[in-house]
Structure 1
Amino acid sequence: MFDPSSRYYPLPTATLTRRDADGREREVRYVRRRFLPPLSASTLLLEHRFTQGERLDNLSARYLGDPAQFWRVCDANAVLQPEELEEVGRSIRVAMPEV
């Protein structure tokens, strides 16, 4: 369902049976909720001070080798929205999860 590099890849799927307005039942499959991992579940690679004009996807490409892995930086800083990290002068953690 998801690419192996996606944050949602390891999540289990579930099924919910719903009754439509016409009375017919249908199954809805969905991915279970993802929670942020504890900060202790990752290995700090480095800290980076955000400067003017930088973007999180570019930093992810530089340090993790893949711009789509920006979510790993978000997890390492316990934020849900990437924009929270894109603040000039902010020191952000770049980490890899424990395996």
Structure 2
Amino acid sequence: MIDPRTLVPSLQDLRTEVFDELSRYRGLPLLIWTGDDGVEHTYVERRFVPGPEALSAAGVVAVNDQDRLDNIAAVQFGEATLWWRIADANRALQPDELTRRLGRRLLITFAEGTPAPRR
């Protein structure tokens, strides 16, 4: 609803997507919290990470020397900024830990909601 005092639409009324199509936050609403001092703070609604069982497996990758998640994502998905999908699929709270041990096998999955191709 447009605030008649300011004639400025609220963030919710704008319904513009503030995150790009590759962001893990895309589609989450922006919320507003008003502090005791009356100042409004905009934040993103909490994102619930899907469990690996909700994702279709695409394959497994073994960690090599000097691997980083962004480099693995670039090879596997063609886009380095999708590193977070590897972290989600492997239940990583500290994503950097996924590449610390050589030979560790990382699950690579399709995007949430994308079924595995039929064989």
For normalisation by structure 2, the TM-score amounts to 0.73
**Partner SS, residue 36 of structure 1:** coil
**Partner SS, residue 61 of structure 1:** helix
2:31 maps to 1:18: no
AA at the equivalent of 1:19: D
Matched positions, count: 95
More strand by share: 1
2:116 maps to 1:98: no
Name the structure, 1 or 2, with higher relative contact order (CA <8 Å, separation 6+): 1
Report percent identity of matched pairs: 37
Alpha-carbon offset, residue 95 of structure 1: 0.5
2:78 maps to 1:65: yes
Task: Name the residue aligned to 1:29.
Answer: 42
Q: Can you give the 5+ residue segments of structure 2 that lack an aligned partner in the other structure?
A: 1-17, 115-119
For normalisation by structure 1, the TM-score amounts to 0.86
Aligned mates of 2:27, 2:34 — CA distance in 1: 23
Alpha-carbon offset, residue 26 of structure 1: 2.2
Q: Can you give the 5+ residue segments of structure 1 that lack an aligned partner in the other structure?
A: none
Equivalent position to 1:80, from 79, 86, 93 = 93
Aligned mates of 1:27, 1:53 — CA distance in 2: 43
Between structure 1 and structure 2, the one with the greater Rg is 2
AA at the equivalent of 1:46: G
